[in-house]
Amino acid sequence: MTMEKALILNGYKDRNKFSLWYLLYGNDGLEDYFEKYPIEKISNGNHSLCPSKIKDILSDDPESFLSYQTVEEILADNPILIRLMDPENAERYCTEKTLPFLMTVPDDWFGDYLAAKDPWQITEEEYFRATNEQLEKCCKEHSSLLEQIPEKRWDADLVHRLMDKLEAINMSVDYGLKIPENLKTEKYWRTLCSVNGYYFRLLPDEYHYILTEDFVLHALQNNRSYVGYCHLLEVIPDQLKTWKVCLIACIMHFAAVKYLPKRFQNDTFYEELIEHRQYDFISYIKLDTISAPVFEKALSKIDVKSSILFHDIKKLPKHLLTEGVIYEMARHGEMNLIPTVYKDRNFYLTAVRYQGSDLDKVPEKYMDTEMCLAALESNAYAAQKYIPDRIKTSNFWKKVVEKRLFSSPADLPEEFCTEELVKETAHYLDDIPEKYLSDDTVLPILKQRKMVAPMDLKRYQSQAVYDYVMGTCQKRMYVYYLKLFRKEFWKQEHIDYALQYDPESITIPELEERDIKKSLDYYPENIIFAPDGVMIPEQTLQDKEMNPSSDKDDKTIMAAPFAQLSIFDFLTT
C-alpha cells in the first residue's frame, strides 16, 4: 500500500503524536521516539499498545497508524506535511479548498475512500460521483448509508442493487429512505417489510396483494427490528393471523400478545409460549383469559430480579388469587396487586426474602427479628435503614455478624465491629471505621482492587500506601498522584522524573523553588504557570536567543499544561 492510499483509507480515524512522528521520521526515528517518550502507551483504535509491541505491528502494517483528522485537512491545509511526505506530488494536494481535492482521489479507490468515512461525513457531491457498484459495496460497511443517500441520486438500478444488499446482510432501515415515489416498486416494499415490520403500516393499498401467509412468515424470520413483530401483527389482516404467525410474533416480542385474535387468547396458546421460554407475555394479556395454574406457571419462570409491569390493572382478578399465585406475586414484590385481606405475615416474609428493599412495606405488627434478618439476607444495603430501633438488640447484632448479613462493617455498632471482621469483609476504604484505618487494613483492599481512587487517598495516606501506588502505577501518572499525596510522603526520584518528562509537573502544589526552576529548565515556556516571584533562569533565555533553532534539533514534542496539541505543534518542532 502506498503512502498516498494509506492516507486516503485511514484519514478518518483517531491518532496520537506517534502517528505523525512515524510520518515525519519513518522507521529510523522509532528508537528516538521511544527514548523521548518511554512512559507513553500508543493508542490504536480501542487498544492500548506498549512500545514493546509496536515494532511487530509496524512490520506487518505500518500504515495502520497513518491518520490524523480528515484527508482534506491533512492534504489541503498542511502543505508542509505533504512536501515532507510526498515532495514530487505536493503541488497536486496543496489546494486552497477541500472540494478540488475530492477529484484527486482516483476512481478505482473511491469506493474504499467512501467506506472509510462515516456516512454523515459523505457529501452530496461524493454520493453523485460514486458509482452504483461502489455505493453497494459501502452499504456492507455502513448500514446507515442507505438512509443518507440523496433523493435525486437514486435510480432504478441503485434501488435494485441496494434492496438485494439490504436483504443479504444483517441490517435494518429505521428512519426511511429518500427514494422517489416512482421508484418504490414491489421489490422495494417486499424488502422493507421483510427487514422491519414497521413498513407493513406504510404499505400502499396497491401492493396489498403481496400479503400472503408465506410472505408474512418470511418477514417474521427476516425482521431485524425488535418492535417490528408488534407492528406486523397489529396491522396484517385477521385472516393472516394464523397460529404459526401469532406464535412466532409473540415469542419474539412479548407485547405482540396485545394484537392476538380472540381465538388464540386462551391457556393452550399461552402454554405454548411458556414452552418456548416466553414468560413476559403475562404483562400484556387480558387476565380474564388465563387460568390460575398457567398464570402461576409463567410467574414461577420469571427471574425474581426482573420487574413485572401489569398494565391497566389495579388488582388481580379473583380467580387468580390462589395460594400459589399469591406466593409468586409476593416473591416478585408485586404487593399492590394483592388485596389486603390476603396479606398475612407469611406473605410479607416471602416478599422480603426475595426483595429486601420491601421491608418498609411490612406493617408494624409483623415487624420482628425474623422478618428483618430475612430482609438483610436478601438486600442488606437497602433493608438496613428500615429496621426499627427496638429490633436492634445485642442478640440481633450477634446473628447479623454470625451470618454476615451486612453490606459494610462500618454499619455495625462499634462493639461488634472488630479489626479481624474488617479485614475479612471490607471491600472499600469507606467500609473501615476510623479507628481501624491502618496499612494492615488499607493495603490489602487496594491490592485486591488493583486501583486507587482519589477518594481513597482523601480517606487515608501513609508512606507504605505512597510506595505501593507509585511503585505500581505507570510513570506517566506520577504527576497525578503527586498532586493527591501530601508532600511529606513524596520521594525525590518521582519528582525528578516528572519534572523532566511531564510539562504538567509545574502544576504540582508545594514544589520547592529548586524543583520549579528545574521544570523551567526543561520547559521554559511554562513560566506563565510558575508561582509569583519565580523567574526563568537568565542563562536559559540567553541560550534561546543565541540558538533559536536548537528546539528543532531536539525531536521532543511536548505541550504546555492544559494545551491541546495540533498538527502545527509537530510540524514546527
pLDDT digits (tens, 9 = 90+) for 482-520: 999 999 999 999 999 999 888 889 999 989 989 988 888
Write down the pLDDT at residue 32.
56
- What's the average model confidence in pLDDT over 436-457? 89
H or E element that contains 126? helix 124-129
Cα distances from 138 to residues 112, 114, 118, 162, 241, in angstroms, run: 8, 7, 10, 10, 38
Check whether 569 has a pLDDT greater than 50. no
Write down the pLDDT at residue 147.
85
Instruction: Determine the Cα–Cα distance for residues 412 and 239; give it in Å rounded to an integer.
Output: 66
Which comes out higher in pLDDT, residue 309 or 534? 309
- What's the average model confidence in pLDDT over 518-537? 76
C-beta neighbour count of 502 within 10 angstroms: 24
Q: Looking at this protein, which amino acid is placed at residue 159?
A: V
Cross-strand pairs, 44: 47
In this predicted structure, which of 82-96, 186-200, 442-456 has the lowest mean pLDDT?
82-96
Check whether 468 has a pLDDT greater than 80. yes
How many CA atoms lie within 13 Å of 407's alpha carbon, on the beta-carbon side?
A: 12
The three-state secondary structure class of 247 is helix
Check whether 319 has a pLDDT greater than 70. yes
Check whether 83 has a pLDDT greater than 70. no
Cross-strand pairs, 47: 44
Cβ neighbours of residue 259 closer than 8 Å, sequence gap 6 or more? 230, 233, 234, 241
Radius of gyration of the chain (CA): 34
Question: Among 294, 272, 321, which residue's Cα sits nearest to residue 282?
Answer: 294
Cross-strand pairs, 127: none
CA 393 to chain centre: 46
What angle (nearest 5°) sits at the alpha carbon of residue 179, between those of residues 178 and 184?
Answer: 145
Instruction: Determine the Cα–Cα distance for residues 304 and 306; give it in Å rounded to an integer.
Output: 5
pLDDT tens digits, one per residue of 225-239: 999 999 999 999 999
Cβ neighbours of residue 223 closer than 8 Å, sequence gap 6 or more? 194, 195, 196, 197, 229, 232, 252
Instruction: Determine the Cα–Cα distance for residues 49 and 53; give it in Å rounded to an integer.
Output: 6
Write down the pLDDT at residue 27.
53
- What's the average model confidence in pLDDT over 75-103? 40
Confidence of residue 67 (pLDDT cuts 50, 70, 90): very low
Share of the chain above pLDDT 90, in %: 51
Evaluate the CA torsion angle 281, 284, 300, 241 in order and state its sign: negative
- What's the average model confidence in pLDDT over 446-467? 90
| DSSP code of residue 240 | G
The three cell numbers of residue 59 are 512490520
379 burial type by CB count under 10 A (0-12 exposed, 13-18 middle, 19+ buried): middle
Instruction: Determine the Cα–Cα distance for residues 496 and 486; give it in Å rounded to an integer.
Output: 17
Q: Looking at this protein, which amino acid is placed at residue 557?
A: I
pLDDT tens digits, one per residue of 326-366: 999 999 888 888 999 999 999 999 999 999 999 999 999 99
pLDDT tens digits, one per residue of 207-265: 999 999 999 999 999 999 999 999 999 999 999 999 999 999 999 999 999 999 999 99
Contact between 151 and 180 (Cβ < 8 Å): yes
For the CA atoms of 204, 209, 213, 219, the dihedral, rounded to the nearest 10 degrees, stands at -40
pLDDT tens digits, one per residue of 132-185: 998 888 876 566 788 889 999 999 999 999 998 888 887 778 778 899 999 999
H or E element that contains 128? helix 124-129
pLDDT tens digits, one per residue of 375-432: 999 999 999 999 999 999 999 999 999 999 999 999 999 999 999 999 999 988 999 9
Check whether 469 has a pLDDT greater than 70. yes
Instruction: Determine the Cα–Cα distance for residues 421 and 444; give it in Å rounded to an integer.
Output: 14
Cα distances from 548 to residues 84, 353, 544, 552, in angstroms, run: 22, 76, 5, 9
- What's the average model confidence in pLDDT over 536-546? 50
